[in-house]
Amino acid sequence: MATRAELLIKGGQIVTAAHGEYPARGKAMQKLEVLHGGWVACAGERIIAVGTPAEVQQEVELTPETQVIDAESKVVTPGLVDPHTHLVFGGSREDEFYLRARGADYMEIMAAGGGILSSVRATRAASLDELVDAGRQRLSWMLRQGVTTVECKSGYGLDLETELKQLEAVRILQGQQPVELVPTFLGAHAWPPEYQGDQEGYLKFLLDTVLPAVKEQGIAEYVDVFTEKGVFSVEQSRRIFQRAQELGFKLRIHADEMHTLGGAELAAEMGMASADHLLMVSDEGIEALASSEVVPVLLPGTAFSLRKPYAPARKMLEAGLPLALATDFNPGSCPTANLTLVMSLACLYMGMTPEEVFNAVTINAAHALGRSDRVGSLEPGKQADLVIFAVDDYKKVPYYIGVNLVETVVKAGRVVVSN
Ligand code: IZC
Ligand code: ZN
């Protein structure tokens, strides 16, 4: 007997990654499946049918109880996935925004004791409840933009207690609101004030104390390192990643953001899930990524905000790489929670097409978080995470820059935003 549909969405344009191997790589990123006048049926947390009205009616049972959403002349896409954010932090850094607007350099502000260290002071001072409240507000911004899965990094504690407090805030937030959260430990985000002049001491503390404690608590899925000149060298990063891998963590990296350091090569060497930023990636780095399974996560909002050159997306696509896009939402280099704005920036400044950017924020972003089997496309069996945009063509989503076109968001089969 056919499964009863609890929710039926009548498109409109049903837009999703082309069926096939995930992630979409290189040329395949230009393909998007667009079903005009299609329907999507859901039951419980899952999608149970996608197709023409006739196909869906044949496959599922529609009853008077089925909730119907009319999305005719609208666009229906998978819930968007943001695979790189620093969601949980105390305070904010609008003072630095003034400085940067007048030309101050992000890394110079950090070297002078501001930047990340300013957020470390505020995060250490914040209570768990304050972090949870701030995080919940930011997640509501994201959800209203159609984002249903978000990666969240720690890295504003740089001591055991505060790193765990941030990750605990993520765990609490998971139970308080609908966005699915993917926790990442980023204890190697900066050198803490207590260890100035004793880098070896902090590395030992991370390897011997903090990483095992984070593992023990089962509170993070990934380990990330800010591999950058003046922060963690490639050699220091490799040691942290090796220990993390031994403990069973999956890996992601801040790679080649301000300088060409070889973070991309390290990601390929260690089989990381993602290599993020890549503004300054070398040709060798691109080659190394091309012979790996690493997903490059590009963050054009950061290049925009820091007025830096954009990552060479077209070169990477020509090399056959599977690009994802993320906001990099954080209090310093990129205080935007708007993933659709990032899609516009990717089109305008990295030469990506609307088809490529949709793949980058859905199936490829899901793959970068190890979730492409569950989310990131509209297919029977996948979680019912969907967005309805109030435009008649998906190309208009990146085209209307910075305008929130989201009308409805469905998370795991439940309507969670209705504008
Ligand atoms: O707080 O500035 N780049 N980490 C590496 C950041 C930016 C976050 C911040
Ligand atoms: Zn980051």
CA 330 / ligand 1 centre spacing (Å): 6
Which residue's alpha carbon is at the smallest distance from atom 2 of ligand 1? 332
For residue 246, the tally of other CB atoms under 10 A from its CB is 12
**Confidence at residue 197, expressed as pLDDT on a 0 to 100 scale:** 95
Shortest-distance atom of ligand 1 to CA 334: 7
CA 115 / ligand 1 centre spacing (Å): 8
Burial class (CB in 10 A: 0-12, 13-18, 19+), 377: buried
Q: Tell me the per-residue pLDDT of 94-150, one tens digit each, with 9 for 90 and over.
A: 999 999 999 999 999 999 889 999 999 999 999 999 999 999 999 999 999 999 999
227 lines ligand 1 (CB under 6 A): no
226 lines ligand 1 (CB under 6 A): yes
Q: Tell me the per-residue pLDDT of 188-235, one tens digit each, with 9 for 90 and over.
A: 999 999 999 999 999 999 999 999 999 999 999 999 999 999 999 999
Quote the tokens at residue 189.
Answer: 């985000």
116 lines ligand 1 (CB under 6 A): yes
Task: Name which of 297, 313, 389 is nearest 346 in CA terms.
Answer: 313
Q: Tell me the per-residue pLDDT of 257-280, one tens digit each, with 9 for 90 and over.
A: 999 999 999 999 999 999 999 999
CA distances from 156 to 124, 130, 250 (A): 8, 14, 20
**Confidence at residue 19, expressed as pLDDT on a 0 to 100 scale:** 86
Residues whose CB falls within 8 Å of the CB of residue 186, separated by 6 or more in sequence, listed in order: 86, 153, 154, 155, 223, 224, 225, 226
* Per-chain mean pLDDT for the chain: 97
Tell me if 347 sits within 8 A of 398, measured CB to CB: yes
**Confidence at residue 2, expressed as pLDDT on a 0 to 100 scale:** 87
CA 85 / ligand 2 centre spacing (Å): 6
Q: Tell me the per-residue pLDDT of 352-386, one tens digit each, with 9 for 90 and over.
A: 999 999 999 999 999 999 999 999 999 999 999 99
Which residue's alpha carbon is at the smallest distance from atom 3 of ligand 1? 333
**Confidence at residue 419, expressed as pLDDT on a 0 to 100 scale:** 87
Ion ligand 2 contact residues with beta carbon within 5 A: 328
Confidence of residue 325 (pLDDT cuts 50, 70, 90): very high
pTM score of the predicted model: 0.98
Q: Tell me the per-residue pLDDT of 147-189, one tens digit each, with 9 for 90 and over.
A: 999 999 999 999 999 999 999 999 999 999 999 999 999 999 9
CA 84 / ligand 2 centre spacing (Å): 6
Task: Name which of 312, 340, 315 is nearest 327 in CA terms.
Answer: 340
Confidence of residue 316 (pLDDT cuts 50, 70, 90): very high
Shortest-distance atom of ligand 1 to CA 110: 2
Confidence of residue 244 (pLDDT cuts 50, 70, 90): very high
